Amino acid sequence: MHDLLIIGGGPAALTAAIYAARYKLDALVLADHIGGQIAEARDVENWPGIKNISGMELMDRFKEHARSLGGSIAQEEAKEVVKDEMFTVNRKHKAKAVLIASGSRKRKLEVPGEKEFLGRGVSYCATCDGAFFRDKKVGVVGGSDSAAVSALILAEFAEKVYILYRRSEIRAEPHWREKIEKNSRIEIIPNVNVKEIRGDKRVKSVLLDHGKEIELDGLFIEIGTVPFSGITEMLKVSTDDPGYIVVDDRQATDVQGVYAAGDVTTGSNNFRQVITACAEAAVAVRSIWEDLRKDG
């Protein structure tokens, strides 16, 4: 029997483990992958106190911090949860409360060729696969910070990088836009949508919605995220239309004993950053501690 089961392995989950240890809660982190999406980031430049660090190293530090305080972390996917007088996950882990910090996953483009060429030119991670496109032509679909960062990473290897965005102007932070404007290898093609990814054994081109076809060796998809919500459906907590968990200012859901933090929630004005995920986790654990004390 635990006080708290934390579902997820990213910044929110690991921060929750740290705070749970400080509040003397018996907590267990369950995740099939420790680190979350941020672990794929080559450079994290907005974590206070550290000018630059890789996402993997930052998450290793989170994990080390949690374990140094006695936090328990199990590399195990939460596949099943049952709620009666308590919560039971995977038929063996029991707890008085559950914190969902399962994060989000990359959104798919959902066009012909995307599945067929996955790993053969189609990628969702510039940090992981950028080096395979040295002196090649690649495209990045999207206009957010993640799309901008991906384009800059790819420009270190590729001969040419096209940012393909459906609006007239990319919406990345001014910091990233300025870097893109100064990079001669990057070209923004606005007001377009990718309709099809073409090739034979590997990607050779993409067809845009205005009929133009661009020759490319690779396509990196950065069009946002969707919540990872399998456990959410089992617990029947309320979500918004895209599927993000609705939380109050205590990070509580509308199901007693269930809380949520990080990218999977509607919190922090939908500003899904490592720092907001960590803040939500800290608030959630304090709320859980208060509620467990009140319930005796």
- Rounded distance, CA 138 to CA 153, Å? 12
Catalytic residue among 26, 43, 60, 125: 125
With tokens 């990359």, the residue in question is 106
| Residues 6+ positions from 192 with CB-CB distance below 8 Å | 164, 165, 166, 208, 209, 210, 212
Distances (CA, A) of 146 to 32, 126, 141, 233: 24, 10, 10, 28
Scored b (16 or more CB within 10 A) or e, 10-27 reads bbbbbbbbbbbbebebeb
**DSSP letter for each residue of 274-291:** HHHHHHHHHHHHHHHHHH
CA distance 113 to 46: 35
**Residue 175: count of CB within 10 angstroms of its CB:** 11
Catalytic pick from 32, 128, 254, 295? 128
Query: Burial code of 195-215, b = ≥16 C-beta within 10 A, e = fewer?
Result: bebbbeeebbbbbbeeeeebe
Is 3 tagged catalytic?
no
Q: Which of 129, 145, 217, 263 is catalytic?
A: 129
**Residue 254 and residue 238 in contact, taking contact as beta carbons nearer than 8 Å:** yes
Q: Is 278 a catalytic residue?
A: no
137 HSE (CA, 13 A, CB side):
10
Task: Give the residue numbers annotated as catalytic, written as ranges.
Answer: 125, 128-129
